Amino acid sequence: MDTTIQKEEERWQAVIERDNHADGTFVYGVRSTGIYCKPSCSSRKPLRANVLFFSGTQAAEEAGYRPCLRCRPQGQAAQDTTNEEIIQRMCTYIEEHLEERLTLAQLSQQVHLSPFYLQRIFKQATGITPRQYVESLRLTQLKSRLRDGEEITSALYDVGYGSVSRLYERVPTHLGMTPNTYRRGGLGMQIAYTIVDSPLGRLLVGATEKGVCAVSLGDQDEELEHQLCKEYPAAEIQQDNSQLAGWVNELLQYLQGEHNWSQLNLPIDIQATAFQWRVWNVLRTIPQGETRSYAEVASSLGDKKKARAVANACATNPVALIIPCHRVVREDGAAGGYRWGIERKRRLLAQEKAEL
């Protein structure tokens, strides 16, 4: 037998047996994933036809392979990978392969983790599952294409939906309307709203048949109404002071200190990008009476450099109070900005701390 072939067969046997004595003598790359591992890696074994052997990590990386996040062939000191880094890599992979059919099994292979473990750490970090993240990204792109006037049939295939029926299965949950309705500025959609006095000024609450779509604070009713109409210029928007009474009372009781935030049980029907959803889900995990800096929220999402993007997501939160963006402050502890006025933010924080 050729000595090269014999050597490769010995290496393959070491991989099959997960022989840790072979670690450091070679690494193997997997063509289907673009990842390289050390022989003892505990990940699911690839097909032999997909495996290449390299003398070391440098040779593997020069060939375009990335180190495995499970076995860390570069060594603990060289790459101390955290869950946040895994999630960040996973999000990047999803964003770059959105047009493909992405399954949890396929995604888990990219980071050499079990589907169950990947799903668990992904949801812990982002508040949503990998599948929900994929759908959110696709819907974000779909909405952008529809706003630009692209035909629905073309748009849905471009963003990764395999059929029209597949699109319509997903869209109502996230958009609150069909694609045609959204494209026409909410034409045919019905939104009821009411404006009442509150401890923080005038409070507007708007809702579709699915749930609350707007909670805003201000001084002038006209300005609050104008903000509501901007999102859906063609929707049928009517004032209704009775239909929303129950939800309005819940918010007022919270603002008056009679209920704490965790007692708010309001369904929401809002639109967002995938990143906004990730930020808002983190905000809802911040305990009442506590705050987090923009950088801390960004770090919890796996990228501390996105503090400015976190601030923008807070500023575009359409349902104030329900999503507590007032709990995000500056690095030095100062209140920072707030869409509804800095004084309202200070009063909310003071009230929540006093209720503990």
Mean pLDDT rounded to a whole number for the chain = 80
Q: What is the pLDDT of residue 105?
A: 86
Residue 161 CB neighbours (<10 A): 21
Q: What is the pLDDT of residue 79?
A: 40
Structure tokens that stand for 318 in this block: 């359409």
Alpha helices in the chain, H assignment, sequence order? 3-16, 57-62, 83-96, 104-111, 115-126, 130-147, 152-158, 164-175, 179-183, 221-231, 245-255, 274-283, 294-300, 307-315, 342-354
The pLDDT tens digits for 189-234 are 789 999 999 999 999 999 988 788 899 999 999 999 998 888 777 7
Measured torsion, CA atoms of residues 330, 356, 323, 94, in degrees rounded to the nearest 10: 70
Is 167 in a helix, a strand, or coil? Answer: helix
57 vs 5: which has the higher pLDDT: 57
Is 26 in a helix, a strand, or coil? Answer: strand
Is residue 171 very low, low, confident or very high in pLDDT (cuts 50, 70, 90)?
very low
The pLDDT tens digits for 238-249 are 998 888 999 999
Q: Which of 61, 141, 127 is nearest to 96 (CA)?
A: 141
End-to-end CA distance of the chain: 76
How far is residue 18's CA from residue 111's CA, in Å, rounded to a whole number? 18
The pLDDT tens digits for 68-79 are 877 888 764 444
Average pLDDT over residues 171-192: 59
Q: What is the pLDDT of residue 204?
A: 96
Q: Which of 156, 150, 106, 121 is nearest to 135 (CA)?
A: 156
Angle at alpha carbon of residue 165, lines to 164 and 168, rounded to 5°: 90
For β-strands 66-67 and 35-37, DSSP reports them as parallel
Q: Is 96 exposed, middle or buried (0-12, 13-18, 19+ CB in 10 A)?
A: exposed
| Residue 240: partners with Cβ closer than 8 Å, 6 or more residues away | 192, 193, 194
The residue whose two tokens read 């050597």 is 7
For β-strands 212-218 and 292-293, DSSP reports them as unpaired
165 vs 185: which has the higher pLDDT: 185
Question: Which amino acid, residue 140?
Answer: T
- Most confident residue range from 4-8, 117-121, 292-296, 336-340: 292-296
The pLDDT tens digits for 91-133 are 878 877 777 778 888 888 887 788 888 888 887 766 678 887 7
The pLDDT tens digits for 46-61 are 888 889 999 888 888 8
For β-strands 35-37 and 27-30, DSSP reports them as antiparallel
Is residue 164 very low, low, confident or very high in pLDDT (cuts 50, 70, 90)?
very low
The residue whose two tokens read 């050390």 is 38
Side-chain-side CA neighbours of 107 within 13 Å: the count stands at 29
How far is residue 27's CA from residue 49's CA, in Å, rounded to a whole number? 16
Q: What is the pLDDT of residue 146?
A: 66
How far is residue 129's CA from residue 121's CA, in Å, rounded to a whole number? 9
Active-site residue list: 37, 325
| Residue 274: partners with Cβ closer than 8 Å, 6 or more residues away | 133, 136, 137, 140
Q: What is the pLDDT of residue 197?
A: 96
Q: How many percent of the chain have pLDDT more than 70?
A: 80
Q: Which of 123-127, 148-152, 200-204, 345-349 has the lowest mean pLDDT?
A: 148-152
* Total count of residues recorded for the chain: 356
Q: What is the pLDDT of residue 257?
A: 87
Model confidence at 7: pLDDT above 70: yes
Model confidence at 348: pLDDT above 50: yes
Q: What is the pLDDT of residue 149?
A: 67
Model confidence at 22: pLDDT above 50: yes
